[in-house]
Structure 1
Amino acid sequence: MRHSWTYAGASLAALAIAMPASAQEQGLQDIIVTAQRKAENLQDVPISVTALTADTLTSGGISDTTELQAASPGLVTFQTANNFSPFIRGVGTNQTASGSEASVALYIDGVYQGPKPGNVLDLGAIERIEVLKGPQGTLFGRNATGGAINIITKDPTATPEINAEFGYGRFDEKTARAYASGAISDTLSASVSFSGKWSDGYIRDVYRNKDQAPVESLNGMVKLKWTPSDRFTATLTGGYSYLDDATFMSAHAEPGTVSTAAGLGFLAPTGPREAATSAEDAISTVKTARATLNVNADLGPVDLVSITGYVHMDAYNFFDLDSSPANILHLSTGQLGRQFSQELQLQKNDGPFRWIAGLYYLRFRDGYDKFPRPYLLQQNLPFEFRPSDLVAGTVALARSAIVTTDTGSIFGQGTYDIAPSTRLTAGLRYSIEKKTVEGEQFAINGTPAPGAGVELDAGSGGPFGAVQNATVDLSKTFKKLTWRLALDHDFADGIMGYASYTRGFKSGSLNAGIISNAQVPVNPEVIDAFEVGLKSELFDRKLRLNIAAFYYDYKDIQVSLVTAGSTSVTENAAAARLYGLDIDLVAAPTSRLTIRGGINLLDSKYKKYESAALFLPRTAATCPSGAAAQVTLAQAKAIAALPQLGGNCTYRLDASGSDLIIAPKFTANAGFDYEMPVGDSRLTLSSSLYYNDGFDTAAGGIFAKVPSYETLTASLTWTGPDDRYFVRVWGRNLTNDIHPELILPLATTFQEVSSMPRSYGFTLGFRFGAR
């Protein structure tokens, strides 16, 4: 039954290709993208790109960045704690450590978004989203090793426009969105948008008998567009978002494992919608403010583009690392992200030689906050501990550490028409980055020394003593040259082929989780990507079919290591190779029916990864160390099959030859929109199916394997005359496929968070003015 949905989706795609062109009244519309930092037709860009319009997002039931994978096979929107960690074609990072950035770059209106917790975003007021597959190191620069997600928000319009919608669904989910736009003067237009979501959540604390992870999401944006002439435009955007969602902090023990708490006789639930904690609710709040200024000036022979961005993010987390009512291990963190960036471009967009050249600067501070909200690890202590709780056998360590990045780069890319139907593109980027980490660690004690009192959010018993036991103050400079070379050729009208060779890199780093000057710097990731592709529009533009095959040589891969003390740090993991195939299609066989589909096939292997971090169940009174903790995959599987005593031990695994983490071999989607006139109104039936073949979340996949799953969404929308009103009934995960969305191996337990079960509801809305 599971695979029948996949077969149905493939059959639907085949049906789209086979349907006669004569049934269609008009062809597919052009899609304009900025995948090469300028406006171009999607079919003219020699890059594999999935472009998603606002209507596509709506029909697919996609409301935030974590759901984008359903519309773009090859993209996995993985989330760990409150960190948004996308993977594209198996390239990404599951690191939660502050100071370690994503391997897939997220851009909003041309501005790189560094703080990972701030990138779980509601997708209101969106013009389109572009998922760029493969390294984008020349034009998008650092941390686009796997690709980039390019979000373009909706510009204000001079014509007045007001939209609003309100919804209600299962789990007491309430949603609201509003958008207004119009002219302030002949040269100035403005828009304002708001979106909100409130829900009880779907996870239950079975120990305290209450909902564990309610959700509140608030987002607002104001945008001003000034056009004093047809040769100058300046757009100023300001936005603020607040997210309170502890779903990924509300874990249960993975079925088939024995946690430390269970080994001691405590309740340790394993149900897909269950959690248990010894303290108050898990906490995960993120506050993010953004400001962007985009300036475009036509200087005659060239265009000048200036992009200025600022991001200010604060996050706070608390969660129970033993997933039980026992006071074994708690973690609370205050995270901050402060970012300023400036980019200047000169572009020439006509003639036989078209080019872009630019300068880029970024300053980014990312890390664990100072008192009263540091990184605080509590062993054998209650959540709100008092000085009197700090007795023998209890430990509280507080850490504050900030990683500062200063980076500058110079880049250029040009395209030359070497023949009427053939073009050569070449580009280079040279980047210099200086990384600095400064921090200190304290051991908290119950008797404050004179003047040494420290007030912590986690404590309610007055000031605590703090003894500084470690510091770090290190700097490291990284220099990298990246490039792109591509040749594309028009074989016929509407059929273009291309071949490309691209190098990308992810920034090197220093660890905010290691308070020591003896730490080893983390080297930059480097990826060499080879790709051939075909972009086509067939049957009088009733079918758009794009195909790409790729091969990656991937070196110095940055991976997350969770230590025995449950501290997340980053290390390099040698080398890997990946290859695969992407297929994207959109078909409009009739004026009423649109069909979308896509497939990603992927084969990935670590070529050399001899010392992967691994947690295995504790099967003896003491955990092995040294050479005894180095195991092969066969030995690890044998240990995992032994009787478990509770909790886990750390090992080092020779993972050479294993699949990369979060690299599913097969992902696919299929969807459609069908419109039916009803008098002067219409009904629209939409549905979207996503299939993922499963993946490992840790090297080797032992107690760290997400099985295959599928999700089906559908909606039926009645739209009134002149498109002014609509009523929509919708359903998400209609197959009720409940699967792990996160498996996190820790010393205390294998934590698992399961997906949301079937949900359903309705939305009411109205629209006036421009669309």
Structure 2
Amino acid sequence: MARSHFLPTPTRYPRSGRLPAAAVLLGIATVASAQDAPSAGDSDELNVIAVETLRDDAPVEQAATPAPGAIETIIVTAQKREQSLQEVPIAISAFTDFQLDARGIVSVKDLGTAVPGLQFSDLAGYNLIYLRGVGTDAFVPSAEPSVATYLDGVYFPSAHNMVQSFGALERIEVLRGPQGTLFGRNSTGGAISLFTRAPGPEPEASVQASYARFDDLKARAHVSVPLADTVAASFSGFYHREDNYYTLDNGGTDELPPEIGRGGRLRLSFAPTDDLRITLTGLLARYSGTSTTTSVNTAPSLLGRLLLIPAETREYVVTADSTPSLTTDTEAWYGEAVWTLPWFDVKLLGSHYFIDAYDYVYDYDGSQRPAATYGAESDYQQIRTGELQFTSNDGSFASHWLQWVAGLYYLRSEGGYNPGYLSLAGSVLNLEPVLGGLPDALRGLLGAAPLPTQLRFNFIGLIGAESYSGYAQATANLTDWLNLTAGGRYQEETRTLIRSDVELEGIDGSLVSFAPRESTVSNFSPRVAIDVTPTRNLMLYASFSQGFKSATYNIINIYLPPDYIEPEEVTSYEIGFKSDLFDRSLRLNVAVFESEIENLQTGFVSLTSGGAINFENAGEARIRGVEFDATVLPMPQRNPGLVLTLGGSWLDAIYTDYRNGSGYDEDTGLSFRSDCGDDPDNPSGPRCRDFSGNRIVRTPEFSGAASLSQTVDVRSGSVEVGVDYYYNGGFFYLAQNSENSFESSYRVVNARVSYLHAPWNLRVTVFGENLLDERYRLAQFHTDFGRADTLAPPVVVGLRLNWDFFG
């Protein structure tokens, strides 16, 4: 039988050693040194089973039943090469497939309660991610996320459902802080990398199924089979159906649609020689339902009250006259070829990604009144990428002290609304005696004719991008205990406003057509880091890094020309340490950082300030923070199944220069545009509402999580009991920091009890989510009509089954 070519390359670890006691830095080094002497009781004797996650395209070899949350050796590819998590001078949270399943994490969104400083929220069906206070709060296709998301190394930029499940995962890595050098554009806050299971030489299969309150049914299956000695294939599929936990009360018989997600991923791996491996992947998925288009007006503005919109006080009841809905189709095709040469490794990546959101209906006024509806017939993005990467290996020049990676990257994209729409009823259009009439620009478009009972504006806004970049980074082992990492990325990107037209339904031709525009920007994003290993299980590091977010245009405009949005740049300084202490019964990682942001990109929604959505630059911001994560085995010898994990983030995140922002008057609820101007004689005139010094939106000052689990061996298996706790200190939804835009602090408690039948490798889990029945918001949306809220789900209890079996 021919030899299989799927065997993974042996993991290579950077050298480490000891530093004389006189050079030990920071007080913790003394503690580490005192307990780090080699002995028969070193990590090999711990009753903790190590899990090594190998290459992103190789099978994961792990023990049959590692204790959930136990200290593990995890291999990550945060620097485009295999390294131990604890030896990378970057703040990283990494989760193996076992950890994900044990805690019921089925999508990236679930990581919001497990990763320090990671904040997930939604806005009208868009997923918004903030990491260390850096994110994007605008829900337009031209407002790309500030936290880059990758699936098997392929960039997935869309904010629609990008955090949903992609089937069976091998691991997730969350890199905190700007990652401009190796991950490039739109990673000013960080990067999230998902790695799926790849086909290998041995057959394997697994299923997961769960049922919970609201007829919440989830199912996932994965199978991998070798087709020949050098060919293997795998298939992963998932299905999710859940009744909406909101009910619709609009005086009719309409009902809210259920949330349904389904999709599949097919992978084919071919290894014709020992040195060459090719993997091809195809992914199709569809999500339908309402997402956070289900919202309720709980605080009507003056305009809302004039339209007789009442404040909704009932929980989990929607009174929208336009039934909320959203459907999203995702299609992705990508491949990679890895060629191992005697001098270095070569990797070629290519991808085609397409996502289309349609049947998009959002009741803009959030009430039963037929005032305004926002939506889209097609909100799409199409992206093609290519990457050529070179990585040093054992045969590279000076490989005993130098490791490096370099590459070229290309991206071409197009997307936008084709079309989106805003529908206004006559009750909104005939408020001239109260509000002084419509904006002059809009009045001019309509002419002197009487206002109709309803207007529907269709806006077509399409934007394209073409980006080229080259990057390189190297780590030099200057001594056994001192490493220096340096690198940079040069990128050049052209943004094109392809089309920006406004049509009035019922009238042929464009009502307004704005001229196409184009801009080109370039950027160099460096990174420098130094790490010191004073003892074998302690690493100290300091780093300087920058990130770059692309310039763009605001593509939703009805009567004002599209605004040009300056590129966002982040500069970050960080010091920290990573440690495995007390015979690896305590893992403690801490980072202290400061980030400075120029031209922070932010959004604001108002009918009277451009037509619907403003996307603008907020000047400058500064974020200082401390974060930690820890894993503790309180009794590693007597009770190795008892595991405690902790994580927390303190953030002082403020706008340092945001004088000309947009907001809503707290008394009238009417929108305003601050204009502090540059007049030294009148720096704070009546229109000046300076946001400088305010807290950055969607960023709690403190958030933290704790998880306690106990695993006990029983006959034929084990029983695990676990409790997860999450605390969020509260944050503002608007940059003006108004009282009615504040999300108060909240707590979420989840729990689980599971039994593992070892002979079958079958686990049955009873779980509960939000057991305190805490009321907090998934989304808050401020418009001219008031504040619309979407509550998070109430208590959910269910049953989950995991079964891993092999042929």
Q: TM-score range by the shorter chain?
A: 0.7 to 0.9
Counterpart for residue 249 of structure 1: 293
Q: Check 1:580–1:625 CA distance in 2 against 1; reply closer, same or farther (3 A cut).
A: closer
Counterpart for residue 318 of structure 2: 275
Q: CA–CA distance in 1 between the matches of 2:749 and 2:664?
A: 34
Counterpart for residue 423 of structure 2: 378
Counterpart for residue 664 of structure 2: 615
Q: CA–CA distance in 2 between the matches of 1:653 and 1:259?
A: 20
The answer to whether the 8 Å contact 2:662/2:674 transfers is: no
Counterpart for residue 643 of structure 1: none
- Select the residue among 707, 712, 717 that pairs with 1:676: 712
Q: CA–CA distance in 2 between the matches of 1:503 and 1:278?
A: 47
- Select the residue among 452, 455, 477 that pairs with 1:395: 455
* Farther-moved stretch of structure 1 (587-596 vs 287-296): 587-596
1:497-550 Cα offsets, whole Å, 9 max, x none, are 100001111111122113789544211111110000101111212221111100
Q: CA–CA distance in 1 between the matches of 2:309 and 2:560?
A: 40
Shift, 1:227, TM fit: 2.0
Q: Check 1:113–1:67 CA distance in 2 against 1; reply closer, same or farther (3 A cut).
A: same
1:716 aligns with 2:753: yes
Counterpart for residue 480 of structure 2: 420
1:524-580 Cα offsets, whole Å, 9 max, x none, are 111110000101111212221111100111111000122335622311111111111
1:405-424 Cα offsets, whole Å, 9 max, x none, are 00000110011111121011
1:297 aligns with 2:339: yes
Q: CA–CA distance in 2 between the matches of 1:354 and 1:431?
A: 23
Query: Which letter does structure 2 place at the counterpart of 1:737?
Result: E
Q: CA–CA distance in 1 between the matches of 2:107 and 2:777?
A: 19
1:355 aligns with 2:404: yes
Q: CA–CA distance in 1 between the matches of 2:454 and 2:82?
A: 59
1:431 aligns with 2:491: yes
- Select the residue among 620, 627, 632 that pairs with 1:582: 627
1:474-511 Cα offsets, whole Å, 9 max, x none, are 00001111100000010101101100001111111122
Shift, 1:84, TM fit: 2.1
Q: CA–CA distance in 1 between the matches of 2:629 and 2:309?
A: 50
Q: After the TM superposition, which residues 456-475 of structure 1 pair with which residues of structure 2 at under 5 Å, given as runs?
A: 465-475=508-518
Q: Check 1:365–1:241 CA distance in 2 against 1; reply closer, same or farther (3 A cut).
A: same
* Farther-moved stretch of structure 1 (206-215 vs 342-351): 206-215
* TM-score, length-scaled by structure 1: 0.87
1:737 aligns with 2:781: no
The answer to whether the 8 Å contact 1:87/1:93 transfers is: yes
- Select the residue among 52, 59, 65 that pairs with 2:95: 52
What SS class does the counterpart of residue 694 from structure 2 fall into? Answer: coil
What SS class does the counterpart of residue 547 from structure 2 fall into? Answer: strand
Counterpart for residue 431 of structure 2: none
Query: Which letter does structure 2 place at the counterpart of 1:328?
Result: A
Q: CA–CA distance in 1 between the matches of 2:244 and 2:748?
A: 19
What SS class does the counterpart of residue 292 from structure 2 fall into? Answer: helix
What SS class does the counterpart of residue 192 from structure 1 fall into? Answer: strand
Query: Which letter does structure 2 place at the counterpart of 1:678?
Result: V
* TM-score, length-scaled by structure 2: 0.83
Counterpart for residue 591 of structure 2: 548
Q: CA–CA distance in 2 between the matches of 1:682 and 1:381?
A: 65
Q: CA–CA distance in 2 between the matches of 1:381 and 1:203?
A: 29
Q: Check 1:336–1:652 CA distance in 2 against 1; reply closer, same or farther (3 A cut).
A: farther
Q: After the TM superposition, which residues 556-571 of structure 1 pair with which residues of structure 2 at under 5 Å, given as runs?
A: 556-565=599-608, 567-571=612-616
1:664 aligns with 2:664: no
1:601 aligns with 2:653: no
- Select the residue among 195, 201, 210 that pairs with 2:238: 195
What SS class does the counterpart of residue 217 from structure 2 fall into? Answer: strand
Shift, 1:262, TM fit: 4.3
Counterpart for residue 273 of structure 2: 229
The answer to whether the 8 Å contact 2:237/2:263 transfers is: yes
Query: Which letter does structure 2 place at the counterpart of 1:684?
Result: E
Shift, 1:46, TM fit: 0.2
Counterpart for residue 327 of structure 2: 285
* Farther-moved stretch of structure 1 (564-573 vs 397-406): 564-573
Counterpart for residue 240 of structure 1: 284
Query: Which letter does structure 2 place at the counterpart of 1:146?
Result: G
Q: CA–CA distance in 2 between the matches of 1:128 and 1:474?
A: 42
Structure 1: any 5+ residue segments left out of the alignment?
1-17, 383-389, 449-464, 631-635, 640-650
What SS class does the counterpart of residue 564 from structure 2 fall into? Answer: coil
Q: CA–CA distance in 1 between the matches of 2:409 and 2:42?
A: 47
Counterpart for residue 532 of structure 1: 575
Q: CA–CA distance in 1 between the matches of 2:676 and 2:108?
A: 43
Q: CA–CA distance in 2 between the matches of 1:173 and 1:693?
A: 29
* Farther-moved stretch of structure 1 (229-238 vs 134-143): 229-238
The answer to whether the 8 Å contact 2:754/2:765 transfers is: yes
Counterpart for residue 742 of structure 2: 705
The answer to whether the 8 Å contact 1:512/1:569 transfers is: no
RMSD, aligned CA = 2.6
Q: Check 1:627–1:69 CA distance in 2 against 1; reply closer, same or farther (3 A cut).
A: closer
What SS class does the counterpart of residue 57 from structure 1 fall into? Answer: helix
Q: CA–CA distance in 1 between the matches of 2:477 and 2:423?
A: 63
The answer to whether the 8 Å contact 1:162/1:181 transfers is: yes
1:129 aligns with 2:129: no
Q: After the TM superposition, which residues 65-464 of structure 1 pair with which residues of structure 2 at under 5 Å, given as runs?
A: 65-207=108-250, 208=252, 211-212=255-256, 214-254=258-298, 256-258=299-301, 260-279=303-322, 281-316=323-358, 317-333=360-376, 334-349=378-393, 350-369=399-418, 374-380=419-425, 392-446=452-506
The answer to whether the 8 Å contact 1:61/1:732 transfers is: no
What SS class does the counterpart of residue 699 from structure 2 fall into? Answer: coil
What SS class does the counterpart of residue 55 from structure 1 fall into? Answer: helix
Counterpart for residue 686 of structure 1: 722
The answer to whether the 8 Å contact 2:459/2:557 transfers is: no
Query: Which letter does structure 2 place at the counterpart of 1:607?
Result: T
Q: Check 1:628–1:357 CA distance in 2 against 1; reply closer, same or farther (3 A cut).
A: closer
What SS class does the counterpart of residue 737 from structure 1 fall into? Answer: coil
Shift, 1:721, TM fit: 3.3
Counterpart for residue 10 of structure 1: none
Q: Check 1:283–1:345 CA distance in 2 against 1; reply closer, same or farther (3 A cut).
A: same
Shift, 1:100, TM fit: 1.6
- Select the residue among 499, 513, 518 that pairs with 2:542: 499
Structure 2: any 5+ residue segments left out of the alignment?
1-34, 36-40, 50-70, 394-398, 428-449, 679-683
What SS class does the counterpart of residue 653 from structure 1 fall into? Answer: coil
The answer to whether the 8 Å contact 1:261/1:268 transfers is: no
Q: Check 1:263–1:209 CA distance in 2 against 1; reply closer, same or farther (3 A cut).
A: farther
Q: CA–CA distance in 1 between the matches of 2:760 and 2:388?
A: 41
Q: CA–CA distance in 2 between the matches of 1:761 and 1:197?
A: 14
Query: Which letter does structure 1 place at the counterpart of 2:256?
Result: Q
Query: Which letter does structure 2 place at the counterpart of 1:756?
Result: P
What SS class does the counterpart of residue 166 from structure 1 fall into? Answer: strand
Shift, 1:611, TM fit: 1.5
Q: CA–CA distance in 2 between the matches of 1:173 and 1:260?
A: 38
Query: Which letter does structure 2 place at the counterpart of 1:282?
Result: P
* Farther-moved stretch of structure 1 (224-233 vs 409-418): 224-233
Counterpart for residue 25 of structure 1: 47
Q: CA–CA distance in 1 between the matches of 2:244 and 2:330?
A: 22
Q: CA–CA distance in 1 between the matches of 2:461 and 2:667?
A: 32
Q: Check 1:623–1:493 CA distance in 2 against 1; reply closer, same or farther (3 A cut).
A: closer
1:338-366 Cα offsets, whole Å, 9 max, x none, are 00000111111432111111100000112
* Farther-moved stretch of structure 1 (436-445 vs 709-718): 436-445
